[in-house]
Each structure stands twice: as C-alpha cells, then as structure tokens.
A and B are shown apart, each in its own frame.
Chain A
Amino acid sequence: MSRLEVKGLHLSLREGNGFSPFVEDVNFTVEKGKTVALVGESGCGKSITCLSILQLLDPESIRIDRGSILFEGKDLLTLSQNELRQIRGNAIGMVFQDPLTSLNPVFSIGSQLVEAVQNHHSVSYAQAKEKAIQMLECVRVSRPDIRFTEYPYQLSGGMRQRVMIAMALLGEPRLLIADEPTTALDVTIQAQILSLLVELQQKMNLGILLVTHDLGVVAEFADEVLVMYAGRIVERAPVQDLFENPQHPYTKKLLASVLKLGGSR
C-alpha cells in the first residue's frame, strides 16, 4: 500500500460569488521511503494541493470538489475534523512554506517543541525536552540548550525554518509534506537537512512530498518528480528521466530557465 495516493483531485477557488476550477485532475502516489518532488512556477497550485491533503484550506475561499486522498489506504476526505486532528502532526507531518510566521511568537521555542512531542507520546516533560533538544541538534541548530529557552524573534530566519522542520519530525510522521522547506537556508545547511531527511526516510520508511523551486535539490534528492502547470500535473517521471529526457515543453522550459552561476562553474 502506498503512503499517499491522490486520485482525481479537483480544487476550486472563490471568484466573486461562485467558485471556478483551478486544480484539475491531479493524480500521484508517494510510496514508503520515497521522495516525490512537486515543481512548477509560482501560483500554479502547489501549496493549495499540499494543504488540501490535510484539509487545511479555508473553505470560504478554496473548495475540494472531487477526488480521493488515500493515506495508507484510508480516504482522508471522509474523516471527521477530530480524526484529522489526530493525524496532523502525528502520522502526517507538515512543514509550511512560511516559516517566519508559522511559529507562535509568544511561546518559547522549547515549549512549542515539547508540545509537539507530548501530542504524540505520553512522556514526562524532561523526556520530551531531551527529545526536542536532540532533534534541534539533528537539524543543525547550534547551542540547542540555549535556543530551547529562546523566543522566535531571537532566532535567525534560517534557524526558525529548522525549528519548524524539527517540530514536524518530532511527531515521528510516516508521511512528511514539506512546502519549500529550505528556502531560508544556505546550501551547506540545506544539504545537511536534506541528508537528514534521507536518513530518516531509510530508517522509518518515511514518504516525502517535497515542494521546491530548486531543480538542483530535485536532481539530488527526489525519486520521482511531478511538474505542475496552471493547476495540472503536466509531467510525472522518475527523476533521471525527467532531467535526461523531459517530455512536456513546459518542463523543458523550466530546465532551461535555471539561474546559473557563471564564472567558476
């Protein structure tokens, strides 16, 4: 059974008094232990597709019209809000695109991380804290003991993004949905974080849906690639095929548009 299977997904966006179709007939699967990358230009529908999986969309402005979203065979679209809450942050972890605003500014980093552990395991505060600090170290946050007591404003942008990743991983998810998780990180830390994900993936058979605009990241970390254009998946291919033999004209254009370093490389 796949970790995630999305079948015939259609989403509509509010337009005036009605809704008009935006995401149309999206189909893909994420297998255990595999990474599927979702790429495409800004506004093509990547984030709303991700948010629809856990139904985190505002129903006033975005509607799920049709389709099924099977997590380990169970259709998430048939679950109650309560059942969904059980799954969010536990079996399915999520890293949102906007790391700078998704931490709560009034609580310390530590208390937010401890909560993430305790939502999942019934452990003492001390045990939860130990796990949280270990995880901060895993995501390459220096001096995790000090960071634990600090507040979001005291951390740099990239550190906050790593804290968000730590928080998602503390729930020990079986599926991770990561929407542009490394945009605030330099290449060396990005590589470390992505290597960590690969390691966890092998250990825990984690399935990953990775939204990114960095085709370098795709080439190095994805197993399969979905190319989205104006709300549709226009190409779906194993990573090697995508780079060596792109089919769709849009994919070809995307591969050609990469901002390249001149000079040294």
Chain B
Amino acid sequence: MTVPFLAELRQVSKIFWVEKPWIGKAKPLYALREVNLQIPKGSTVGLVGESGCGKSTLGKVLLRLTPHSTGSVLFRGEDIGSLSSRQMRGLRRHMQMIFQDPYSSLHPKRTLRQNLQEPFIIHNETDQMQEKIRELMSDVGLDPDLLDGYPHELSGGQCQRICIARAVSLRPDFIVADESVSALDVSIRGQILQLFLELKKKYQLTYLFISHDLAVIETVSDFVAVMYLGQIVEWTSASQLFANPFHPYTQLLLEAIPIPVFRPDRRKRHHSIEAELPDPVRLPPGCPFAARCSKVKPHCLEKVPELRNLGTPETPHYVACHEAS
C-alpha cells in the first residue's frame, strides 16, 4: 500500500478543561478545533499563527505527546490514537520534537555526551554508540571535543545544535521543530535554518516547522498552514502564500512585520492595531477572526467559514474566509 502522507490530522479537536474561578465549573478551552492537516512525506510544512492559537498543541498532538479529544491522528497511514503505550514506544523513535529553549531541553547536570547517549540507551541501541555520537557532532557542525562539557558552557546556537543532534540520532522520519530558532539572533538563526535544510537532505526528513516568524517560515517551507484561534484558516504552497495571501489574518501578519527602515510616521501605524482578544473558551459563533477583520460582513458573524479551495486542483490554495475570492 502506498501512503501519500507521512502524518495527518483528520477533524482533530483538542480541548483543555479550565476552571472558571469562583464558580469552579470546568469549561472547555478549544486549543484545536476540527483541524485537518496533511504532511506529505519529504516535505516541510510551516505552521504560523498568533501566540496561543494552538501551534504547539498541534505539534504535540501529531506526535501523541499529548492526547487529542476527538478526530484521528495518522502516522504512515496508521491511526496512532488507538495504539497501546508499548506500540507507541516503538513508533516514538521515528518522530521527534525540538523545542524553542535549547537549554531546558537538555539535562543541565549531564555532559553533552551523556545527553546524546540517552536516546540510544532508551531504545537499546548502544552498538557503536560513541562512533555514532561523533558522527552526529560533525553532522551538526560541532567539535567532538565539546562532548565532555556541559550545556551551560554553550552558546544558544551551539546548544540548539546539540538538541538537533539528539533529535536526529535515531534516524527519525518526522521532526516537529517548535519555535526552534526564535530565541536565536538573526546571524545564528540563518545558520541553524541551513543546518535543518542539510539534515533534511541527508536523512530524508519530513518537518513540521512551527514559527511565529514569517521570514523563517518562508525560508524553510514547501507548504504553509496559517492558524488562528485553534483553526487552520489558510493552507497552500509557500510560494503561493507569500505571493498571494488570501486570508485577512495572513495579510495582517505580513503587513505587521516591522521594517528596518526609519519612517517619520512610524508611531501612527501602531495606533491602528487595536483589536479584541480572541477567546478560546467562548468561541464566536461565526468566523474566529471576525472581531478583528477589516472586511467583516454580517454573515461572517453567523457562520464558521470552511476551508475552500480557491486555487486549482494541482496547486490548491485553501482559505477559510467567506469573503475571499
């Protein structure tokens, strides 16, 4: 059987139950709402969206690091929601996550060598482990002499390289990189992005690349999904998205990027960014973005827009907006 997608979400929702103070009754917080997402093997899918919209949750649900509430999560065509924890352990090595803060992802009191040995030991693959670790160090562009030092001795960029080495150590197929370069400065960010691209080629990886930074997403992605308040509101190829964004939220994101040029009217621009806060507990009945949208029409407040293909069957461009055309 051929499996077109390495990982896939079908109508997946994730609810966190949160307490309302005083009343004490738990209320559902929709971190993900009926999300459909397909990750083709060998591709890099970029995921952007506002802080708190559910990006990290989506990444963790895909790897079953957190259980989803409804819908199904597929990996290599198999529904992983129903696997036992033993079966899941077997799959784990094929899927890895890299986080934003490299220091807190490593064990601070262990040497880098010990940190890198851990996955091999857990999965009982200690054959030629030291050689493999040396090779990993060279893969991520670090001097193996660093191995007996500790994480705090490294710069942020070096530390992220170690986290990347650890993530690829068992030759996974799929990596979710969650804001993996946002804590780094521009110069180093470019180098780490380059490393991600090299490793992708070398190990035939598939990435879900989560970032709030559109320049990063544009650099690495083949496809981009834009999220807002737990829903995917736009989905297409990276080139199409940046050349021709359809959703008003995507357009706003692109317009709000601060430009490194001095403009005398710079202060005025920001007074126009006034917006109601999106509330994941009391979801609006209509479009999640309606409260902030400049193109809002009465029907936007009533009906949730579905993703529609405004592109062609060959180069699809899905948008969840009643007004986009």
Of residues 263 to 280 in B, which have CB atoms within 8 Å of A's CB atoms? Answer: 263, 266-267, 269-271, 273, 275, 277-280
B243 to chain A: which residues have CB within 8 Å? 263-264
Of residues 104 to 136 in B, which have CB atoms within 8 Å of A's CB atoms? Answer: 104
Whether A187 is near chain B, meaning CB under 8 Å from some CB there, is: yes
Residue in A159, A239, A259, A263 whose CB lies within 8 Å of B189: A259
Whether B187 is near chain A, meaning CB under 8 Å from some CB there, is: yes
Q: Tell me if A's interface is mostly helix, strand, loop or mixed.
A: helix
Q: Which residue of A lies closest to B193 (CB)?
A: A259
Q: How far is the CA of A224 from the CA of B296 in the complex (A)?
A: 39
A262-B218 contact given A42-B155, A191-B270, A219-B263, CB 8 Å threshold: yes
A148 to chain B: which residues have CB within 8 Å? 21
Q: Are A42 and B56 in contact (CB-based, < 8 A)?
A: no
B253 to chain A: which residues have CB within 8 Å? 186-188
Q: How far is the CB of A108 from chain B (nearest CB, A)?
A: 10
Q: How far is the CB of B278 from chain A (nearest CB, A)?
A: 6
Q: Are A146 and B56 in contact (CB-based, < 8 A)?
A: no
Of residues 157 to 203 in B, which have CB atoms within 8 Å of A's CB atoms? Answer: 157, 179, 182-190
B18 to chain A: which residues have CB within 8 Å? 146, 150, 154
Q: Are A146 and B19 in contact (CB-based, < 8 A)?
A: yes
Q: Are A187 and B257 in contact (CB-based, < 8 A)?
A: yes
A264-B254 contact given A184-B212, A189-B51, A259-B186, CB 8 Å threshold: yes
Q: Interface centre among B18, B185, B244, by most A CB within 10 Å?
A: B185
Q: How large is the interface on A (under 10, 10 to 19, 20 to 34, 35 or more residues)?
A: 35 or more
Q: How large is the interface on B (under 10, 10 to 19, 20 to 34, 35 or more residues)?
A: 35 or more
A262-B252 contact given A42-B187, A154-B16, CB 8 Å threshold: no
Q: Which residue of B lies closest to A101 (CB)?
A: B104
Q: How far is the CA of A263 from the CA of B214 in the complex (A)?
A: 12
Whether B1 is near chain A, meaning CB under 8 Å from some CB there, is: no
Q: Are B258 and A259 in contact (CB-based, < 8 A)?
A: no
Q: How far is the CA of A143 from the CA of B21 in the complex (A)?
A: 11
Whether A203 is near chain B, meaning CB under 8 Å from some CB there, is: no
Q: How far is the CA of A213 from the CA of B184 in the complex (A)?
A: 9
Interface string of A185-224 (1 = CB under 8 A from B): 1111111101100100000000000000111111111000
Q: How far is the CA of A239 from the CA of B257 in the complex (A)?
A: 18
B46 to chain A: which residues have CB within 8 Å? none
Whether A137 is near chain B, meaning CB under 8 Å from some CB there, is: yes
Q: How far is the CA of A155 from the CA of B306 in the complex (A)?
A: 28
A2 to chain B: which residues have CB within 8 Å? none
Whether B315 is near chain A, meaning CB under 8 Å from some CB there, is: no
A140 to chain B: which residues have CB within 8 Å? 277
Interface string of A63-101 (1 = CB under 8 A from B): 000000000000000000000000000000000001011
Whether B281 is near chain A, meaning CB under 8 Å from some CB there, is: yes
Whether B287 is near chain A, meaning CB under 8 Å from some CB there, is: no
Q: Are A142 and B277 in contact (CB-based, < 8 A)?
A: yes
Whether A17 is near chain B, meaning CB under 8 Å from some CB there, is: no
A259-B185 contact given A143-B280, A158-B52, A189-B51, CB 8 Å threshold: no
Q: Are B280 and A157 in contact (CB-based, < 8 A)?
A: no
Q: Interface centre among A143, A186, A219, A262, by most B CB within 10 Å?
A: A186
Whether A255 is near chain B, meaning CB under 8 Å from some CB there, is: yes
A191 to chain B: which residues have CB within 8 Å? 256, 258, 270, 273
Q: How far is the CA of A192 from the CA of B269 in the complex (A)?
A: 11
B263 to chain A: which residues have CB within 8 Å? 219-220
Q: Which residue of A lies closest to B217 (CB)?
A: A261
Whether A122 is near chain B, meaning CB under 8 Å from some CB there, is: no
Q: Which residue of A lies closest to B257 (CB)?
A: A187
Q: Are B273 and A259 in contact (CB-based, < 8 A)?
A: no
Residue in B104, B244, B273, B278 whose CB lies within 8 Å of A192: B273
Residue in B16, B187, B256 whose CB lies within 8 Å of A41: B187
Q: How far is the CA of A24 from the CA of B145 in the complex (A)?
A: 30
Q: Are A158 and B262 in contact (CB-based, < 8 A)?
A: no
A184-B269 contact given A98-B101, A142-B280, CB 8 Å threshold: no
Please provide the 9 A-B residue pairs with the shortest distance between their CB atoms, ordered closest to farther. Answer: A158-B51, A216-B258, A186-B212, A215-B260, A263-B242, A142-B277, A187-B256, A243-B262, A195-B270
Q: List 12 A-B contacts (CB under 8 A).
A: A42-B156, A145-B21, A146-B281, A184-B51, A184-B182, A186-B212, A187-B256, A188-B253, A219-B266, A243-B261, A259-B216, A261-B214
**Given A195-B273, A257-B186, 16 extra CB contacts under 8 A:** A42-B155, A43-B155, A146-B27, A150-B18, A186-B50, A186-B51, A186-B253, A187-B258, A188-B256, A191-B270, A214-B186, A216-B259, A261-B214, A261-B218, A263-B218, A264-B243
